[in-house]
Homo-oligomer: A and B are copies of this chain.
């Protein structure tokens, strides 16, 4: 199966899973459920689910099983975008080419949408069978919760808030992004693998190296795209990092060095999984996809 066909099949599977697990729009409270569906079923890139599927293939995991873990991670990601876009945060009106949730609905609804999407993510990972045994599944839930929380994604947001207008060093910027985007990308990858056969500590460590490199590369590329692309191409407001005086890889390293850094991280990711051979084919293709993407 070529990469595009594989991506298409996996995207279909995760979309179907999300449609299934999100409460139907006619279930009370209807407006909240409609807004939750609006926030999630909106044509996102689904990079995190794809990483979960690719890592699942490495570990021989059943794709149907990975789909629930992938959907849970995507629900966490979607909630974070809804809250990020709120007026008290980035105050953004456009997301994936459509009005943001609080613009389409209203601010209190968007707040509750984010809250309820987070709960739903944890409902998914506890309700469906994801791993060979319940102990492993508890450990997966712990990993997801830690990645989402104050020492993961939410903590990264707090660091991001504090950094507005500040001149960060490269290590400080890296610390911020390891939390803000890296933690959840890492969780997606590791959860995907844990849906399958145990990899053993050394192999799991290699996969973790891959996930960390890809997570950081994703953010570096995001910063470059924000600086270089148009709003139309991105489907979200371009140039907003500079507008909000946010330190980014582009503001700290410049565009040319940022692109080099992304290429180095890609190589690091590829090297980390080189020893897996063909089993890591999808992981390698995804590393390329993440670094070479144009949106």
Q: Does A202 contact B (CB under 8 A)?
A: no
Q: What's the nearest-Cβ distance from chain B to residue A182, in Å?
A: 15
**A119 and B88 alpha carbons, distance in the complex (Å):** 21
Residue among A29, A32, A116, A138 with the most chain B CB within 10 A? A29
**Closest B residue by C-beta to A134:** B134
Choose, from A49-57, A104-112, A213-221, A226-234, the stretch at the interface. Answer: A104-112
Residue among A127, A152, A158 with the most chain B CB within 10 A? A158
Q: Does A211 contact B (CB under 8 A)?
A: no
**A120 and B155 alpha carbons, distance in the complex (Å):** 12
CB pair A149–B28 under 8 Å, yes or no, is no
**A86 and B115 alpha carbons, distance in the complex (Å):** 13
Q: What's the nearest-Cβ distance from chain B to residue A75, in Å?
A: 11
**A29 and B150 alpha carbons, distance in the complex (Å):** 8
Choose, from A63-71, A140-148, A252-260, the stretch at the interface. Answer: A140-148
CB pair B111–A123 under 8 Å, yes or no, is no
Q: Given A108-B89, A126-B145, A155 and B31 touching (CB < 8 A)?
A: no
Instruction: List the 9 closest A-B pairs by CB distance, nearest first.
Output: A119-B149, A134-B134, A123-B145, A116-B150, A126-B141, A32-B158, A88-B107, A116-B154, A126-B142
